[in-house]
Each structure stands twice: as C-alpha cells, then as structure tokens.
Chain A
C-alpha cells in the first residue's frame, strides 16, 4: 500500500507541492504572457472544455467522468502552484475554467481575469453550504481571519466585490480542507492541543515549518499568539509592524537553533516526520496519513485555537462566451453533483454540498471521512488502494468539528512583498 498511497498523496495538496517544479516553465510563462495577446484563441463548437488547476482537482479520473457524463471532451491541465498562478493570471484565453483558490483572489479579482458567475445558472446553489456563504458552517462557528471564502465570494454583475448575498459570485465554492500541526505522539509522549507547542523549549531543534512565506507566517503567528507572546489585529492581513515583530522573534529563535528544517514539498514534510528529524511541524492532513502509513504514530493535532483553512473555488475565464460558456456552467454544475466530491473525499477533502458527496460514498466511508467515526470496514483511496484499517478514526474529528473551528484562512496579505522580503531575512539569518 505504501507506494501507491504516497503516489496519490503526492498528487493531493493545497498549495505548494511543486511550487518549484516550474523553473523550466518560468521563461515560457513570461514570454507567453507577453505574447498571448498576439495569438487570439478562436473557440470552435467542437473544442473540448479546458480546465486548469492543481493536482488536487485536475485528475484524469475526475475530468474523464465529467466528459462521460457531459458528452463532450474535458481536457484538464494539472500545474505546479507557480505555473497555475501565472497561467491563471496571464493567459486567461488558454483556459475556460480555472479550479482556483480563494486565497489567490486578492490578486486574481482586481485583474478581472474571471467573469462573475450568475447563481441563477448554478442549479444547486441553494444547497451549497453556509461555510462559504456566511463563513459559518454552524451558527456558533468561528469565521476565521484572512481570505475566508465569504469575504471574497459576493460580487455585482461587473465582478466588483460587495457585501453579500447577491445574485453574482466570483467563484463557485468547491473542495476545502483545514491544516494543523502534525506531531510524533510516541516520541513526544503527550498530546498536543495548542499551536504554542511548536515554540516550546522541549522541542528545540526538532521543529519543522513550511517554507511558503504566506502559509508559514500564519502558522507561527498562531503559535506566538497562543503562547501569549504577541497579538494580531488580523492574522490574514498583518501590518508591517506585526510582520516585523513576528519575524524579529523568529530570527531570534532560528539563531538559537529552534527550527530543524523548512519544507518545500508535501513529500519533504512526510520525510522529516518519518525519519525522526522533527517531532512537530506544520503539516497537511494527507501528509499525516502518509506518515502513519510509514509506521509513525503521527497525529494530526486537534488545536484549541483552531485550524488554518483553505478553500477552492471554480471560476470561468472572462474570455469565455457563447456555447463554451454554457459548457463551462455545465461543468461547474457537474462538480456540485457530488461524484468528484466523493472522489476527493476519499483523499480527505470536503465537498461544499456534503449530502451530494454522500450519495457516492459508502456508509462506512461517509462515517469515517465526514462524521469522524471509527472505520466500520477497511477503506480505500480513490484508486482502490487500501488506506484505512478497520477501527481507525480520522484525526481532527468530524467535518463540523473541524470547520467550525477555523482560526485563519490561507491569504495573500496586502503587505505580501514586505512579508516575502522579511521572510528572506528570516531564512538567511
């Protein structure tokens, strides 16, 4: 199982797995970006629907099923994060649908690369969960700082953000997940229930952190706040002073040798945990699963302060019109019907209409992935490889428990350039 597990696990992650696979495509993207305008794309009736995204959602099986159900071709292009970001932004004539993420919308929306979506054309819009519409999955849920979908969802007919609800939306909310700390329960000898644990002196030199500045800074912000060292107005949009305070503190800790390693890819975070290099690190929940598959008692921490969430949204390029636009809406509606949600559910991701995903999941799968109950039978990943043994319980509890406790959402801050600059200083210190 291990090999296959790792394979699928590698394909699923939110942002960053292969952020850096794109060196080779950098030049191409830049050149293409500047030249794109001179090669107008003329859509023909027979053209397949073109969709781009990360390996989380652009998976042969999903687009293949969509093509079979819809009766026309769907070509998906799975990209590394940097390449996806650049293509979405600079070449919106090269795709019809972009399977994007709300945390990128601070950059994408002002660029007007997508068209506002008409909810009247989304057949099951009413059933889409309130998580993305109001920010609250349940009435007493936390809204969370940062780029929560509901802050970037509602727009007018011209695509300008407004306070919702409204007829038009920027993107159709889709798969999402919550990230936390992963730790080696056996080596640490206790349960971790606070972000502050990653700053403790007893884990000195055995701490891992993601090296994506936008994400890493949130994890340490959660930690310093939990430890009572500093506080933030809005962790999703820090001020320069807050960034300075945080980075200065991190530099101090780094000089003490507090951090063992910063990880770049999903696989690296698994390696760090499995090889015993770190005791505790920021981790995506599928990485925790992968570490367990290697025999480490790695636990996905249930943290009092809450998790760091991320949420995907399907968008339609501003360049799409006519028959192609109809097909794009059909594709979006197809996504909502639950087949893809169930497929992704077996990798640990959640669907915006859980009941639709439920239709395609077995009772045991539903109980395990969504309800946080022990697996009644052995469960497989989407490709049929064994993944979960009887009696295992998903870390972090049920869907509702997780998503009513989101402290912060992945974001791009207004001070992003400043953040990256200070982060560079932190790494060099």
Chain B
C-alpha cells in the first residue's frame, strides 16, 4: 500500500504506536511480577512439540529414506528428491521426455496455479457480500443474522456440500432439465459436471465464506465517522472506496486469502467428487504413494506441498502487511 495512504490514516486508526518510555515501563513491570507467565504457554508448547514438530521432523526424515518392496531402507539418500524433480530422459534429445518437466513438479504447479485462480474468484465473489453485510445493512442484529445465513451451508458436512452439486449439474440435473425444457439444448450438456468448470464452481462455493468472514469483520470495524468525514470533505463514492474502505479492509482480505490458499492447496476430495478425479493434485499423489506404503516419496510430496504453501503465504503477507494494517 502506498505511503500517502499511511499518512492519511496515521492517528485515525491508532497506529501511531505507544511512546517508547511508556512501553519500557510496562515491560519492566511485567518482568517484576512474581508468577512466571512463560509457564502459561507450556501446555501448548508441549502439545505442539509432540503432535506437530516431532511428526513434522519425522516426515522430513522419511524423505531421506527409500522404500523397497516390503520395507524401508533407512540409509540416507536424495533419490526421492531427484525423482520428484528429474524426469528420466530429460537430457536425452532422442527420448520423448526430452526437456519435459517432471509430472510431480507439474502437478505441484497446477495445484498452485489453480489455487490462485479459485482464491481470486473467492475474493471477487466474497468481497461484495462482505461489503453489503458490513456497510449496507444498518443494524447489528440484521448484520449478524445475514452473516449466519451465509454460514448455513457450513452446518452440513463438507462432502455432502460437494456431492450436492451432482443433482444440480449432472446430465439429469436441475440445470440440464431447465435447458432442455426451455429448448436451449436438445441433448444434456456435459461440461457442467466432471469438468474444470464444475470443480472451480464447487471450490468457490465451498470456500467463499472463508473470505466473507474476515473481510466482513475488518469492514465492520471501520469507523463510520471516517467515511462521513470523507464525504463531508467532498470525496466521491469511488474515492471513499479506493482510498478509505479498501485499504482498511485489506487485513481481512489477506487473512481470507491465507485461509483459502492453505485449504485449497491441500485439496483432494472435491476433485474426486465434482471433477470426477480427472485431475491430480499434490494431495492425490501423496495418497497414491501412501496407499502402497511408499512413505518416503509421499513424504517428499508432502514437504514440497508445505514449502509451496509457505511460499504462497509469504507472498500474500508481503503483498499486504497485516501487522501494519491492524
């Protein structure tokens, strides 16, 4: 975000910071209190260590082992990483795989690219909903009521929501019946289901609320008097949006993006249900290797997925500095 925007908002939303002398004093007081506060985080630290850090490290360890039929060979190897990146015949101009990218890398890239697409769509659909809820609905009671209505689909299980697309989009689905009855088509249309179209639509429907929620909350936090003041000073509606509302809602957008990004990167079930399994995501690759006990290679894919997720999250947080905005 631009410097001018920061200047405009300084003081208004309380980001001028605590004066250093007061902060130092506060710290000193905290240190002096008798009860060691650090212990409060001990349970969660132990929990995370046992159930996150250690399993994660063991996954990393697995990637350096190799899977032989029926057992794991625990001698150190980088073969799994090589198999992930390198395609046999890559440097051989005679082979049909000459200079073609490894399928696992391709899958990771496709997963990443598709996730970005869906994320963008979720924002495009979600932002107006959140905007309407937060700024157009006047009473808090109605805001909350309508927000809960947005959440209704999430009261059922994820898979049921995904499966529910079938009677809607299928060959004998509602939409096809409608098209047939209206005489627009004379054969049921196929592309509505088990296609990238269906997959994208289902994912947007499944995850859009993850963007509506955070955006709604950051929009609702905006002090209405700022908008009023801007209007009094003669700002046009679009100016108010671009220069005040949008910048102030960016933290919500960023949080929504992170949620959606992480969820869709790990996606594999929806692809099977609505895309008919006609694509592979990193998730499905991991499952296929896990199912035949090739844990090392599954682990390599898992680590790569995690790295890609981290890169994505870092990019998102680079684009929007949440801490500054809050």
A interface residue numbers (CB < 8 A to B): 19-20, 22-23, 26-27, 30-31, 34, 81-82, 85-86, 89-90, 106-112, 205, 211-214, 254, 257, 259-264, 268, 271, 275-277, 412, 414, 416-417, 420-421, 423-425, 427-428
Contacts and interface: CB of A to CB of B under 8 A. Distances in A.
A331 to B, nearest CB: 25
Contact of B166 (A111, A205, A271, A416): A271
A417 B62 contact: no
A30 B55 contact: yes
A216 to B, nearest CB: 10
A82 B291 contact: yes
Given A107-B69, A107-B70, A424-B280, A275 B172 contact: yes
Contacts of B177: none
A137 to B, nearest CB: 29
Nearest to A112: B70
Given A268-B272, A427-B277, A428-B106, A106 B69 contact: yes
A423 B288 CA distance: 10
Interface stretch (B226-234, B237-245, B250-258, B292-300): B292-300
Given A427-B278, A428-B280, A20 B269 contact: yes
Interface in B263-293: 268-269, 272-273, 276-280, 284-285, 287-293
B290 A26 contact: yes
23 contacts: A19-B291, A20-B287, A82-B291, A86-B290, A106-B69, A211-B272, A259-B276, A259-B278, A260-B194, A262-B278, A263-B276, A264-B277, A271-B166, A276-B172, A277-B171, A414-B69, A417-B297, A420-B288, A420-B289, A424-B280, A427-B278, A428-B110, A428-B280
A89 B71 CA distance: 8
B191 to A, nearest CB: 9
B126 interface: no
Given A424-B107, A428-B107, A20 B268 contact: yes
Interface of B: 54-55, 58-59, 62, 69-71, 103-104, 106-107, 110, 163, 166-167, 170-172, 190, 193-194, 268-269, 272-273, 276-280, 284-285, 287-295, 297
A213 B288 CA distance: 8
Contacts of A214: 292
Contacts of A260: 190, 194, 276
A85 B292 contact: yes
Contacts of B277: 211, 261-264, 427
